Amino acid sequence: MRACRRWNSAGRAQGAGSRGPSTPKEEDQKGVRSVKNPIGTLLLLGSALAIHCSFAADTPTAGHPYSPWASTDFPTRVYFGDTHVHSGLSADAGGSGTRLMPEDAYRFARGEQVISNSGQPVKLRRPYDFFMITDHSDGMGLITDILNGAPNILADPAGREYHEAFLEGGATAQQAVMKLIAQFSQGQTPPALIYQPGNPAYRPVWERIMQAAEDYNDPHDFTTFIGFEWTSLVDGNNLHRNVIFRDGPALAGQIEPYTTYPPVGSRDPRDLWRWLATYEEKTGGRVTAIPHNGNLSNGMMFALQDDFAEGASYDKDYAATRQKWERLYEVTQLKGDGESHPRLSPDDEFADYENWDWGNLDLSQAKTPRMLPGEYARSGLKRGLELESSLGVNPFKFGMIGATDTHTGLSTVDDDNFFGKFKAYEPNPGRATHWARNNKETGLNYQGWVYSSAGLTALWATENTREALFDAMLRREAYATTGPRISVRFFAGWNFEDSDLLLPERARAGYAKGVPMGSDMKPRAEGAGAPRFLVYALRDPDGANLDRIQIVKGWLDADGRSREKVYDVAWSGGRKPGADGKLPPVGDTVDLSIPGWTNTIGAANLEAIWSDPAFDPEQRAFYYARVIEIPTPRWTAYDQVKFSLDLPGNIPLKTRERAYTSPIWYTP
């Protein structure tokens, strides 16, 4: 190819003589311009050629477009949504007064104002990016028939009793719904009230749920998923899973939801996983399951033995199957936070956060300390390392997400806009001190103030579509927040440099040199040092500043026992760790009389390159990031001011919102 000569701004060829071009004399003849100066003509042609050659020389080669984002194959945006929401179609929601249906919940989640179940106008500050309804598969449609007095319900003594109780309303209806939940929890639901596949009323409800998701799905703007909650309870111990489809009604409609009542359903997670496999084999679609926060499982969520096989040890098949179908775990929600517990992590000053440790779901069995390791995410991850060392596969290899588990159809995670768990806990003066659960047989109970205004799922995805978001779930490029839309990146590699923090788009370095949250570290090269982590966080633009970023490490020591340590890696202000290695508190600007706070402390963003100072290349390990906000008012503080209350001193009025990333694993 002939090289193009460069031309200067005057139209001269570089290196040519100093003689300049004459001014061309032009005249119009019948609309055609002619140039009388041939030298000028040559120079004009030369200029045109120069421009053409310049563009030709600078044209990107194939595979390297000019736009740096045109060939980007990694996620550049984080999307926020809720993966656990109940409408009035769930028996416990409808039975407690929820009348909002899936269509109402979707309208609310995408930013529309709706009227709550208690008649109050409510609207989100910002719409969600994605959303799903996960009504209970057991009893789907039951409450509608009870409320309407369907013939099959009235023909059954228990059905008629429930119908009359719900018609009476008030405390009678509330007691009825608690009784219904208790019967289900103990596997004692009257036969006529067992709604599952095969019941004529079941299919229309499932079709309504699917169609609502399809009608409100708006790819790239507001994504909806088809889903349901598989509600396994073992003597009141909560082992629920939310089932989420990548597909639309054409595939999801080829089945009906899996339930827990035999012979159609089962409470054993193994049977759920078989059902998921059958769905994919039958339809060619994709599906996954996300376990419910395990703090009401009384130790069963991350048990070290198979409680559905008479306590037998897990085998490799169990571990591989669980890891395949349960890629994520719901670590925080309305019914408490499940990252860790002060009894399990006594050296962690932030472990005592929104913990629920009274008993199981229906409070039929009290909590004991030995149950706690089988309930919390960090201990579950540690147990996963222990099991992997013996089985060769880690059954508890999960990423972390948050959700609400609201039973009002209203997903509200802002403390100043919190509409509670059930209708009775929508804003009213008595909701904080109302007895939310009171088991008179065991003497266990709790009040409404224990509900937390949590949480959200954050997904790093290539676009806001079902396919891209679902794929982000499967690769565990996800994290949980307790409500704020904190943006967090977390990468691990072997050769990150401090200068990588100076890049305008640090994610490029993150993906090029390492792996993102939810991944396994790349193999360690011979002679390589300790892993290095690139982590950075940006506060919610409508929220509070950040106190610090921490990295939580879990590992197996030389004796095969799991250990943990929390490292402060980035923090705001000029604080320095004390002799005990701990940072001084960030401070507190909360004014409970308003209530409110100021962002005069903390930082809008934090970042760090951190290397593990105690790395042993022979030890299995996991790492995840935890981001802590400065103190802010809890929803109870807003209630105290809005309703002019003087709440009891045991009710917390402040909170430390946070985010938990999915872990990154190192395997020798």
Same domain, 594 and 649: yes
Tell whether 420 is covered by a domain: yes
Same domain, 167 and 217: no
Tell whether 70 is covered by a domain: no
Same domain, 18 and 44: yes
- Domain encompassing residue 15: 1-59
pLDDT at 61: 57
CB 421 within 8 A of CB 428: no
Name the amino acid, one letter, at 182. Answer: A
pLDDT at 60: 55
Same domain, 278 and 291: yes
pLDDT at 62: 59
Q: 146-197: per-residue pLDDT in tens?
A: 998 999 899 999 999 999 998 888 889 878 878 887 887 677 888 888 899 9
Q: 51-93: per-residue pLDDT in tens?
A: 444 444 455 555 678 887 787 889 999 999 999 999 999 988 9
| Helix H or strand E encompassing 223 | strand 223-225
Same domain, 202 and 284: yes
Same domain, 23 and 112: no
Same domain, 417 and 363: yes
pLDDT at 312: 95
Tell whether 71 is covered by a domain: no
Number of domains in the chain: 4
Q: Name residues of the chain where pLDDT drops below 70.
A: 1-63, 185
Alpha-carbon span 441 to 576, nearest angstrom: 52
Same domain, 121 and 38: no
Alpha-carbon span 647 to 166, nearest angstrom: 31
Same domain, 301 and 164: no
Token representation of residue 479: 């994290």
Same domain, 535 and 524: yes
**Coil, strand, or helix at residue 513?**
helix
Tell whether 217 is covered by a domain: yes
**How many residues in total does the chain contain?**
668
Pair type for strands 562-571 and 632-633: unpaired
Tell whether 481 is covered by a domain: no
CA 335 to chain centre: 15
Tell whether 470 is covered by a domain: no
Token representation of residue 242: 């939310």
Alpha-carbon span 513 to 509, nearest angstrom: 6
Same domain, 27 and 172: no
Tell whether 502 is covered by a domain: yes
Same domain, 23 and 94: no
Alpha-carbon span 17 to 2, nearest angstrom: 23
CB 453 within 8 A of CB 483: yes
Tell whether 603 is covered by a domain: yes
